[in-house]
């Protein structure tokens, strides 16, 4: 399937699908905890984005990487004014995936590899819905670093000149 055929197929579909090298993969729905975490993150980042020119998107907006891949990350931030396609973003500075049993392998392998190739990306975070833990890949001076946040701490969001604490991520969630 071509990328154009995928977009036509996706417009007509009731379900969301990701596109990888011509193949289409149906996405499973997330749990309530998964959605609460994603909304907590999007809400905190959206508050930080007000007046900055940056935009925060949740799972309904696609991420297009070249002509070979289209994903639906849980949360993404773009600050590039030319990143204005109605169907997808291509130049995010932040990507967040809330892990799930069906996606965590791909989130930690092939998606990780492709996400870290995005030129303007500064943060790729994978959030656990089972315990207070965030795995973060952070770019500084064109080098990627990795760290895991447990119990406390926060992530710096350079493109928003803000931070995101674990307390904000897990607000109202008993884990």
In CATH, what number is assigned to the domain containing residue 162? 3.90.1570.10
Q: Is residue 25 included in any domain, yes or no?
A: no
Residue 105 domain-assigned (yes or no): yes
146 in a structural domain: yes
Q: What is the mean pLDDT of residues 41-51?
A: 97
Give the tokens for residue 91.
């130049």
pLDDT, one tens digit per residue, over 73-127 is 999 999 999 999 999 999 999 999 999 988 889 889 999 999 999 999 999 999 9
Q: Is residue 155 part of a domain?
A: yes
Q: What's the pLDDT at 33? A: 95
pLDDT digits (tens, 9 = 90+) for 120-146: 999 999 999 999 999 999 999 999 999
Instruction: Supply the pTM of this predicted model.
Output: 0.94
83 within domain boundaries: yes
Q: Is residue 1 situated within a structural domain?
A: no
Domain-embedded: residue 15: no
CA distances from 119 to 17, 41, 91, 151 (A): 25, 23, 8, 31
Q: What pLDDT was estimated at residue 98? A: 96
Residue 24 placed within a domain: no
Q: Give the number of domains in the chain.
A: 1
Q: What domain range includes position 69?
A: 30-169
């Amino acid at each position: 399937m071509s990328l154009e055929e995928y977009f036509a197929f996706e417009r007509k579909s009731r379900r969301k699908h990701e596109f990888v090298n011509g193949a289409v993969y149906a996405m499973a729905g997330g749990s309530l905890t998964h959605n609460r975490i994603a909304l907590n993150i999007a809400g905190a980042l959206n508050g930080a984005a007000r007046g900055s020119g940056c935009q925060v998107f949740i799972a309904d907006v696609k991420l297009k990487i070249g002509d070979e891949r289209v994903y639906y990350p849980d949360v993404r931030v773009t600050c590039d004014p030319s990143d204005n396609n109605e169907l997808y973003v291509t130049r995010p500075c932040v990507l967040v995936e809330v892990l799930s049993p069906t996606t965590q392998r791909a989130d930690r392998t092939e998606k990780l590899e492709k996400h870290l190739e995005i030129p303007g990306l500064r943060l790729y975070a994978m959030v656990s819905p089972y315990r207070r833990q965030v795995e973060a890949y952070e770019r500084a001076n064109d080098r990627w670093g990795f760290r895991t946040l447990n119990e406390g701490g926060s992530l710096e969001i350079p493109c928003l000149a803000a931070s995101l604490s674990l307390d904000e991520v897990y607000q109202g969630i008993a884990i």
